[in-house]
Amino acid sequence: MAENVKLPDGADENKSHPPAEAPCSEEQAEETFQLSGIPVFEGCVLGHVRLLTEGELDIPHFTIEKTQTRAEFTRLRGAINTVIRELEELLGDADDSDNVVPAEARAFIDLHCEILKDPSLISETQDIIRDRLVNAEWALSMRLEDLHSSFEDIEDDYLAERIQDISQMVERVQRVLMGRRRPCDTVSKAMSDTAVILVSEDLSPADILTLKRRGDLSVAGLLLEYGSVNSHTSILARSLEIPMMVNVSGIRERVHEDDVIFLNASESTVLVNPSEEQMPALAGMSRTRVGNSRRLRTLRSRSCTTLDGTTVELLGNIALPEDVADVVKNRADGIGLFRSEFLFMNRPDMPGEDEQTQAYESVIRAMKGKIVTIRIMDLGGDKTPTAQALESIGESLEAAVINPSMGRRGIRFCIEHPKLFKTQMRAILRASAVGNVRILIPMLSRISEVLHVRNVMTQCRRELEAEGFRVADDIPVGGMIEVPAAVFCLEHYLKVLDFASVGTNDLMQFMIAADRLEPSVAGLCHPMHPAMLRMLAEVIGKAVKAGKDISVCGQAAADPFFAQYLVGAGLRSLSVDSVGMLAVKERLTQSRLDDNRCLARNLRRCASAGDVRRVVQKYQKDHPEFEPSRFVQSVLAEDFLGLDRLSLDPL
């Protein structure tokens, strides 16, 4: 577990932790080595190791007399109530901390409290105590083993996460019964004047919060030997902007307390006990990251306006309602992309109308009148509900899909499941009554799809109003431009659309005919491909000419340099994830529209990868004050679009 989570990058804006700079000893220098893992939140930090390695709990097992069962029942209920109280106290602290702890934390802790308050946990454990005459700790272990057995043959990520949550809560109760404190409560304060990197087998969201609430440690990074990038712990770490990696194999055995570590989640590496010669450069990189984060936070209250007075709308992308907290914190101009499909994933059923309405309303209310763009569920491809959820709507799981990214997904999936689509539409329309909402159609490839959505909206509106629900008078309908068909017929699409949003991720792979998830060709899916640059400029120009709002919400828009290109090409609205929003704002507010237009013209004229590289090189030479992002570095790299293998491209 971690402790008072104090990250260099700023979950807590009022404190900072200097990176470790102490030179390593000769013994350490002899043990310098590197490990790798899967990044959860990128960033680099230099710090000292704090090990949270305790091994498995040694659960006592003994028999009791029948006359002692009531006492064991009392111990069990008391321990469960103690854990519930501890968790609720964490949330109580969070309420008084000016939103330092993100909304995700409350959702996870609420879930864990629900697990502990489930009457079956007490009743079925008490049955084991009564029938087998064993102590409460062991009875809990037996109950958990039964649950594991019932889950082990179910291949479902959602249910796997639930059994992990139950296991974590059972362990907490057992620790109370045994009088054993949790590791996150026993981490020493030693080295708290420098950045601490916690190394553990795994962590729970409650452990992260416990450490966050402690004031005696600055946690700069997290390294887990196991774990998943989609676990609750990882989601919470991302929201707190803690550099973190999971699946760092063997790290608990190879590192020792107080070892110096350079965690570079941006490069998926961990350098343990760097040499004395390496330390100055690593410490400098760590300090730069901390300083950059602190500098960017000062931009939250500023509008995104270029040096020569052109204002660019900066919207936020979110996947879950809890994500809105970061969008609000960064003072975004609205939500440009609410990926509603994530409400349908990692669960055994489909969300009902009331549940969806509450989710949409929570986001709309949080934005306080600013625009909220809800994308119709973009299910299919790599965003697939669980098998149980698909079966609940009669979806066949037997037919193999050869190319799911180009199959029945997005609006196509919605048309095939009218009842499910209608439920979502009713929920969106009901939620529209509390704020400023617009609807975005994914995977648009036919004008008739727009007309179908409008017909469903009209039908749902009539039904809701007849039932006494209030619906907003005007709900704009937009389309995702991510299929070449929509690009080439955009003038016609814009006659029936109120706005458009470009999804660069899918548009790239469809236009270049290269699957971005296929390693052998993924390198071709680069936004700086000459064809992509030209197509984006044309799409923006057509929308501007038609007088329709257009934004870019794909991942490429979050790169500051690419954002300059888009603005230079005429775009005035960007929608990005919260993590990259302030960096984009900084770059745009330091640029001039004329320079961005010049950059866009030069890039639009490029015919080859070599041309693109030369334009970028010249821009970097003319603007040395701009530090190249990883995106720009990828253009300058030898393997940009295969330049290291193709000598025919003139250089």
Which residues form the catalytic set? 232, 553
CB neighbour list of residue 118: distance below 8 Å, 6 or more residues apart = none
What stretch of H or E contains 223?
Answer: strand 219-224
Taking alpha carbons only, the member of 267, 281, 424 closest to residue 360 is 424
From residue 520, alpha-carbon distances to 405, 508, 516, 646 in Å are 17, 16, 9, 15
Phi, psi (rounded to 5 degrees) for 315: -105, 165
| Locus of tokens 């949409």 | 360
What stretch of H or E contains 317?
Answer: strand 313-318
Taking alpha carbons only, the member of 131, 219, 125, 218 closest to residue 174 is 125
Provide the 3-class DSSP secondary structure of residue 46.
Answer: strand
Taking alpha carbons only, the member of 155, 152, 158, 149 closest to residue 397 is 155
CB neighbour list of residue 558: distance below 8 Å, 6 or more residues apart = 576, 577, 579, 580, 581, 583, 584
Taking alpha carbons only, the member of 444, 240, 411 closest to residue 340 is 411
For the beta sheet containing 269-272, the strands, ordered from the edge strand earlier in sequence to the opposite edge, are 33-36, 269-272, 260-264, 44-52, 196-200, 219-224, 244-246, 38-41
From residue 280, alpha-carbon distances to 171, 262, 269, 285 in Å are 42, 12, 18, 9
Contact yes or no for 302/589 (Cβ under 8 A):
yes
**Whats the size of the chain, residue-wise?**
651
Q: Is the dihedral of CA 461, 465, 468, 471 positive or negative?
A: positive
**DSSP state, 605?**
T
Helices (H) and strands (E) in the chain, counts: 26, 16
